[in-house]
Amino acid sequence: MIKIGQIVVTKNSGVCKIITEEEMNFGAGVKKYYVLRPVFAKDQSSKVYIPADQNGLLRPLMKKEEILDVIDNMPKMEKIWFNDQKERRSKFDEIYRRGNIYEICQLVKSLYLHNEELKLSKHTLSMLDREYLNKLKEGVYQEFSLALDIPYEEVDNYIEKRISC
């Protein structure tokens, strides 16, 4: 059950706080919408509108224990890679749409590892792969930051320390 004041995760807007419910008409008739404010937005007047009858677009923020479990399993995550760019884009989009945090972290790890491999031969990620890495990492780090109660900028170090123990 979604509640006013709850912190939720959306696929497109990241971590948001539900600030109110309103009846609005965006062209499909009057419907009830949740009005959300992205927690990490630079402009705190930004709002996101999600139809109340489409709860599948929202999920609760993960609990600290769940995130620690994901982090602890990162070393075991296998690299996902497809050499064909169209196939890679299709598979990455599919993983993103499913919204499974474990799979998304596996994808972030895969892109990170591939980037490290490319650096050895003085190459870089394609623009598309770099965009995926940045977008996915931002969403994951926002959620980790709030659930672990640490600053966003410290998430990298937190993960590194935890998995190196």
Q: What percent of the chain shows pLDDT beyond 90? A: 79
β partners of residue 24: 31
Torsion angle in degrees (nearest 10) through CA of 16, 18, 23, 28: 30
Q: Are residues 47 and 73 in the same domain?
A: no
pLDDT at position 34 over 90: yes
What local confidence, expressed as pLDDT, does residue 37 receive? 96
Q: Are residues 69 and 47 in the same domain?
A: no
Q: Are residues 82 and 51 in the same domain?
A: no
Give the end of a domain, one of 60, 80, 98: 60
pLDDT at position 30 over 90: yes
Q: Are residues 114 and 144 in the same domain?
A: yes
What local confidence, expressed as pLDDT, does residue 2 receive? 82
Three-class DSSP category at 102: helix
What local confidence, expressed as pLDDT, does residue 16 receive? 95
Domain count for the chain, please give it.
Answer: 2
Structure token pair of residue 4: 């006013």
Over residues 111-128, mean pLDDT: 95
Q: Are residues 50 and 81 in the same domain?
A: no
Q: Are residues 134 and 73 in the same domain?
A: yes
Q: Which domain holds residue 141?
A: 64-164
Q: Are residues 75 and 156 in the same domain?
A: yes
